[in-house]
Chains A and B, each alone.
Chain A
Amino acid sequence: MEKSIKRYVLFFTLPTLLAFAALFVVPFALGIYLSFTEFTTVNDATWVGLSNYGKAFANPDFQNALWFTSKFTVVSIITVNVLAFLLALLLTRGRKGTNLFRTAFFMPNLIGGIVLGYIWQLILNGILYRYEVTLTFDAKYGFWGLVILMSWQMIGYMMVIYIAGIQSIPKDLFEVAKIEGADRWATVRHVTIPMIMPAITICLFLTMINSLKLFDQNLALTAGAPSKETAMLALDIYNTFYGTPGFEGVGQAKAVVFFVLVALISMIQLSITRRREVEQ
């Protein structure tokens, strides 16, 4: 059968392949090349070796964005997953209204990042106003604002995945735990958590990737203010490209560093948690 399908290779793959090659492969390769050059348009690139990378790492905005993004990612992974898991545990215990609550908690996830940013800007500024400050008064407000926004957006998504995981655990495992006298906490620790390791893997992964790449929410909520202190990596790269003439090469070098960082962390995270899954 393979042989007769093979003749249709162009019919099946050509449209996707052309689009993928032109709009991903070429831009990706060109992006790596340009990170070693100085340019304002693609045509006037001159080779400068590693100097863009040197400038990128020496740039205080980039250092701040790296640090801010790392802190944000760690904190939001914890808040999102702990709360999502607790909600999932409770929702799989009661039987009334499970669907209603699942639907409601998931809803923020469908609202776009720009809209989410302005919703929370209104609310957080409304609260902070009583203390006579605003979201952009100090970087710490922007930081916690982003954490709250991210938690609101992602908790429902992760909760839905945790619920699916918990519901797929065979019921007799819980009965055995009960007969052996395990209390609620022991059951969660020794039955639920080990049994849903695949869900934990994927939830940690998704939260991490989404936190590292956050852009729209960041732009709408604080746009980096005060003075770029709350700009995350994606926003800092955007600002370097489109707000700092003559720094396009540095922007591209930052983007390559960003890519390598995201790729490395995803590989490491996936291999660690996948290994744990196998042991269970």
Chain B
Amino acid sequence: MQRETVRDNTIFVLFLVLMAVFLSPILIVLMNSFKGKFFISDAPFKLPDSTTYVGLENYISGLEKTGFLNAFGMSLLITVLSVLVIVWFTSMTAWYITRVKTGFTKSLYFAFVFSMIVPFQMVMFTMTKVANVLHLDNPLGIVIIYLGFGAGLSVFLYSGFVKSIPVEIEEAVMMDGGNPRQMFFRVVFPILKPIAITVAILNVMWIWNDYLLPYLVIGTEYKTIPIAIQYLRGGYGSIDMGAMMAMLTLAIVPVVIFYLFCQRYIIEGVVAGAVKG
């Protein structure tokens, strides 16, 4: 007993140190966001002192330069709408193609799984063109693009889960005279809740952080957070390191808050997604 406690404590302290090292990059960015822009590059590991400390100056200039608040709103809008649309429509499709076995549904399932291994660069140019022709090159249209390109993984995850639900419950409801439409939303969808959370989490992580797709499709007219940050670097000249550090901090804060609130679901979701994937 005694020896186990000693061992537990040793591992605990070792991990505390490891964790501090592991999280230090984030703290270094935070620390530098309060330093003048000329003091960041040469000595990023020094704490701000009376000469280097500039208060909120970087935040003010960064917010102005990047339009960060708009970008935040844009990221939020695109992510929330896309994830709702994906969770809603792919669950219906996945349930249907798992329950109804025809040549059509089997080939559909295969096509969805296939799409999961196709790298974005393969469709980068042509998808952008199609989006253009269909007038999807705007913040609402991009939601449909995310549904189309993200359907594969979500359908796959839902299908795996549907297979594990006994079909008897659904049969019983149908016997009582329900139609499949009502039955899906009243009976099946509530059962799908755990996997729906996983699907939502994996898609939030992807869409919130996605850079290239929104950049190519809607350009820099409406910027999301990753685009606003990349834009700071600009085409030429030197980067305003102060503004950069402040904007990196602002980009990390919402993610950390979201994570601390949904931590349990995120980790469970990632494990569930990985085992199915």
Show the binding face of A for B, using Cβ within 8 Å.
1-2, 4-6, 8-9, 11-13, 15-17, 19-28, 30-31, 34, 41-42, 87, 90-91, 93-97, 100-115, 118-120, 122-123, 125-126, 129, 152, 157, 160-161, 164, 198, 202-203, 205-206, 209, 212-213, 215-216, 219-220, 233-234, 237-238, 241, 248, 251-252, 255-256, 258-259, 262-263, 266
Contact = CB atoms under 8 A, between A and B. Distances in A.
Given A24-B148, A234-B119, 18 more contacts: A1-B174, A12-B93, A12-B180, A13-B96, A20-B111, A20-B115, A22-B130, A23-B123, A23-B130, A28-B122, A28-B126, A101-B15, A110-B209, A122-B29, A152-B25, A219-B230, A238-B212, A255-B122
7 contacts: A13-B97, A15-B89, A27-B126, A111-B255, A114-B209, A126-B45, A259-B121
B64 interface: no
A119 B248 contact: yes
A206 B277 contact: yes
A256 B277 CA distance: 24
Given A19-B147, A94-B7, A5 B267 contact: no
Q: Ordered nearest first, which 8 A-B pairs have the shortest CB separation?
A: A23-B148, A112-B209, A94-B11, A19-B148, A126-B44, A12-B96, A27-B126, A27-B123
Most buried by B among A90, A118, A233, A241: A118
Interface stretch (B53-61, B191-199, B268-276): B268-276
Contacts of A16: 89-90, 92-93, 147, 151, 155
A101 B25 CA distance: 16
B99 A2 contact: yes
Given A4-B180, A96-B8, A262 B125 contact: no
Most buried by B among A16, A41, A205: A16
B228 to A, nearest CB: 10
Given A114-B226, A115-B248, A12 B92 contact: yes
B119 A258 contact: yes
B259 interface: yes
B151 A112 contact: no
B130 A26 contact: yes
B77 interface: no
Contacts of B226: 112-115, 216
Contacts, number: 280
Contact of B127 (A2, A23, A262): A23
B15 A112 contact: no
Given A20-B112, A96-B9, A1 B125 contact: no
Given A24-B149, A258-B119, A202 B275 contact: yes
Interface in B132-162: 134, 136, 144-145, 147-149, 151-152, 155
B117 interface: yes
B10 to A, nearest CB: 8
B230 A125 contact: no
Interface in B176-190: 179-181, 184
A179 to B, nearest CB: 19
B200 interface: no
Contacts of B145: 19, 23
